[in-house]
Structure 1
């Protein structure tokens, strides 16, 4: 006779185990990932050792790439701080979010943004640091931002109570302090969170923390091959005002302050110094005093002056990066200590790239590679096994749909970007975009980069400068990665140009950009 009681007890145990396993699986599926999105200002891939080892080491940023992915074809839609941030937070090009430039626009905070959608889905959302969209933030449970660009030393912050508070210290440290404090003490720990840590660094005028002032002074950096570019065949490139030689301010940018010397931006630099306390100013003067004395004693001119300015620029920029890298390490260490890393997507990027002497420039704005390309690295949570390089073309309009899909939130149909989640899973979607659209609007303005739009594929880039100029440029990025040889108008590239113009028009129509290429006019 069978022992039926044993049979039923075993069967019952198996059934209960199946139910428990199913419940656990559902709980895991319902578990929401946290998002820590760190964004800097004007940090270029050339100055991150996970991308480029020529200049400096960034060990903490490299930790993110080593434990996740590095995007090698990451780009912005409009290489300017405010517009780039608007593209990021809305997932839409400038023509749709209506924040075109830094000089005439105020961001409409009533419009749809990914923090608002995450908030509706039960996320705790926070923003700390640089907002730079003129209006006040919305869609955040907590925010504290710097006015405008913010100050490196003893900065002011605007709070949710619309108070302006003065904080003592170095801005990169203070923003990180606030971010960690919110994660530890300010949020509802029963809910998933999305934290935006937006730094002022590494924005002009590259004022380092006093503890780093002596770094990199023993380094001499090779001039970029294009440092003395003559801009032949590129009139828009020749017309800019962002030259290290001609436009980099000796006092504001390079700190060569002396009572008998004047410069266009001297007063602004003196205001920055005036924010320092006695100990900070003493450390600053102790370092820069001998540098100033040596510079005016030697009085370099011509090519020697140009090379001197480049070396000082590189050192100041790198010292500012050093603080940033250390503070990224603090955030990673906190997440590890609190057991949050396995359930958190950590993203690091910048609002655009930057010129480190390429073409003789500093700043950004152009559609050329150094400023359109932006670093993007992600440390992936458990369940995402992708490691190494992601080579697909991605853009900052893709961040919003990525975060939304990761959180299980439906991506609105009016968002322009594509979710990168399939790429993070190791997939290579056949329908992934083959071309990127770019549009820069801010002219006339600082640095005088002319308005332009264009299309970039994996090999070619077509740019149209318009408004007070009507010039097309074509580059073969495979054979001319430095973009020195404008191929537009050459007979052998007519078919390439025709194809790129068709793709350009398709993208302008897809994104409903009212400023667009007219094929009929082009035939005239």
Structure 2
């Protein structure tokens, strides 16, 4: 017995840890952390109360921030659904992972990903919900994904056995139900990594019947630049994503004009009788009132804005509620203390700023995404980080937390060193590249953001440059490119843009710069 005690004490001594720490390490903290990544769709940080929003309360997203860290300056590399997920999965920019746009890209699942690295290291891996990468997931022990964008009511899922299965109910609830079913059946001898891909809050903002009318008594203020005239911003002027001109009365706002047109809409035709009755009981009186008003001009545009806000925020309510269900499940099953939880949207979204909905731009509302993370024992509760982080950093952060070597071809950087050491400044410049040249008429562009400035190069649909002083012009209304007094700043930013392009090996952007050396003057 004495010999056993002596050997035990020697083991503690050789470890370099005090006895109490060894006991702690032999318990929960010694285990490799479980990982839950919750990815929503088109969820604007402007609508999240953890970010100071007064539009609605998001208590469950807020809870992650309160118990961990809120990233105030989280951004994406390419503000559109599929490409963002490919970046999250691989830790590589779109030009490296091959999924540049939603029009023609198909994700090559043969390439490496954080899921493959974790699975190889003994993790059990799963992806449930929206995938949107046009190929079957690889690197996951289990997957169950929405075809393409998925549906809000009675969604179909592509299953691992090749079948398609329809689930009765509202999509946010169904995704959470299936998530908990997988967690109930998982191999408890292994750590797990689970990605929950929510459809909400993607267009067409169709709320759960439980949340219909939740914001009907609220009159939302118009953003200050709602009636933006896009002066000296050619790319913004030719877009097709305005609430005034682009948002559709039937498809988006459920004002179809007839039962026949409503029944032909795929979002409504798949509803069961009870769901359809509740939906009609809510929207039909609104449509009658709208028809009686006979609105035109600005009055019509502002009515559309109010309807958009009410439907969007009601849809976001179910998203937040189901995030709360995930957190409750972890609590109830004793998993909270050894599980990293990361919540982010695939990109930002416009809530009427510049008169818009949708995303795509390097402008802040689209470029910036909400991101909060809880990591008990590592990230101090209530942390607020103003360092630049990106969706590019999710993969290396996860691998770092799992004590795995980060592959050299990953272009992101782990967020953990900056959270552990305030002296670690992380990246000082953000690089962005948007490729799609179709829907919503947003011109392809690339650019950089520093703490104060943003330099943008548009090409294809529009050819030109924009420069913003974010300190003086946080809403990006005044393009300073080519204006007197900004020559030195422009030259310095141009050099930095070249540096970032070469760092990330974006050959297409480099070629565009080489071909247009003269137009930066």
**What range is the shorter-chain TM-score in?**
over 0.9
Query: Which residue does the alignment assign to 1:506?
Result: 499
Q: Structure 1 regions of 5+ residues with no counterpart? A: 1-7
Q: Which residue of 1 aligns with 2:39?
A: 39
TM-score (norm 2): 0.94
CA distance in 2, matches of 1:426, 1:35: 22
The one of 464, 469, 473 equivalent to 1:476 is 469
Once residues 52 and 237 of structure 2 are traced to their aligned partners in structure 1, the CA distance between those partners, rounded to angstroms, is: 28
Q: Is residue 113 from structure 1 mapped to residue 105 from structure 2 by the alignment?
A: no
Deviation at 1:41, TM superposition (A): 0.3
**Residue 463 of structure 1, aligned match among 456, 459, 463:** 456
Name which of structure 1's ranges 359-368 and 387-396 shifts more when overlaid on structure 2: 387-396
**2:254 corresponding residue in structure 1:** 255
How far off its partner does 1:25 sit? 6.5
Supply the distance in 2 between the matched residues of 1:244 and 1:12 (Cα, whole angstroms): 74
8 A Cα contact 1:422 1:428, kept in partner = no
Counterpart-to-counterpart distance in 1, 2:468 and 2:372: 27
Alpha-carbon distance change, 521 to 282 in structure 1, aligned in 2, over 3 angstroms: closer
CA distance in 2, matches of 1:336, 1:344: 10
In structure 2, what is the Cα distance between the partners aligned to 1:468 and 1:292? Answer: 38
Paired with 2:56 and 2:456, the residues of 1 have a C-alpha distance of 32
Q: CA separation in 1, counterparts of 2:326 and 2:300?
A: 40
Matched position secondary structure for 1:46: helix
State the match for 2:433 in structure 1.
439
Equivalence for 2:205: 206
Q: 1:16 aligns with which of 8, 13, 23?
A: 8
SS at match of 1:439: strand
Q: Distance in 2 between matches of 1:337 and 1:14?
A: 39
Q: Are the aligned partners of 1:386 and 1:424 in contact in 2 as well (CA < 8 Å)?
A: no
Alpha carbons 2:67, 2:381 under 8 Å: kept: no
Contact 1:455 1:504 in 2 (8 A): yes
CA deviation profile, 1:384-410 (whole Å, cap 9, x unmatched): 326321111111110000000100110
1:475 partner SS: strand
Are the aligned partners of 1:505 and 1:516 in contact in 2 as well (CA < 8 Å)? no
3-state SS in 2 of match to 1:153:
coil
Contact (CA 8 Å) 1:438, 1:455: kept in 2 or not?
Answer: yes
1:414–1:229 distance in 2 versus 1, CA, 3 Å:
same
Q: CA deviation at 1:149?
A: 0.3
- Shift of the alpha carbon at 1:214? 2.1
Instruction: Assess, with a 3 A threshold, how the Cα gap between structure 1 residues 465 and 336 changes in structure 2: closer, same or farther.
Output: same
Contact kept, 8 Å, 1:128 with 1:143, in 2: the verdict is yes
Within 1, Cα distance between the matches of 2:263 and 2:485? 51
In the alignment, structure 1 residue 280 sits paired with structure 2 residue 272: no
Q: Does 1:64 align with 2:58?
A: no
- Name the residue aligned to 1:3: none
TM-score (norm 1): 0.94
| Alignment-derived partner of residue 189 in structure 1 | 188
Per the alignment, do residues 324 and 486 of structure 1 end up closer, same or farther by CA in structure 2, a change over 3 Å counting?
A: same
SS in 2 for 1:462: strand
The residue correspondences of 1:57-206 to structure 2 (distance < 5 A) are 57-185=57-185, 187-206=186-205
Using the TM superposition, give the Cα deviation of residue 519 of structure 1 relative to its aligned residue in structure 2, in angstroms: 5.5
Q: Which deviates more from structure 2 when the two are superposed, residues 30-39 or residues 163-172?
A: 30-39
Q: Whole-Å Cα distance in 2 between the matches of residues 519 and 130 of structure 1?
A: 39
Q: Is the 8 A contact 2:42 2:200 kept in 1?
A: yes
The alignment partner of 1:39 has SS state of strand
What does the per-residue CA deviation read over 1:34-75, in whole Å, with 9 as the maximum and x for residues that have no partner? 110001000010111001332000111111111011000000
Q: Is contact 1:252-1:269 (8 Å) kept?
A: no
- How far off is 1:381 after superposition? 2.0
Which 10-residue stretch deviates more, 26-35 or 493-502?
26-35
Please provide the CA RMSD for this pair: 1.9
Contact 1:251 1:269 in 2 (8 A): no
Structure 1 Cα separation of the partners of residues 461 and 468 of structure 2 = 22
- Stretches of structure 2 that go unaligned for 5 or more consecutive residues are 13-18
Give the number of equivalent residue pairs.
509
Q: What is residue 306 of structure 2 aligned with on the other side?
A: 311
Per-residue CA deviation, residues 175-224 of structure 1 (Å, 9 max, x unaligned), is 00111111122x11011100000000000000000111121110000000
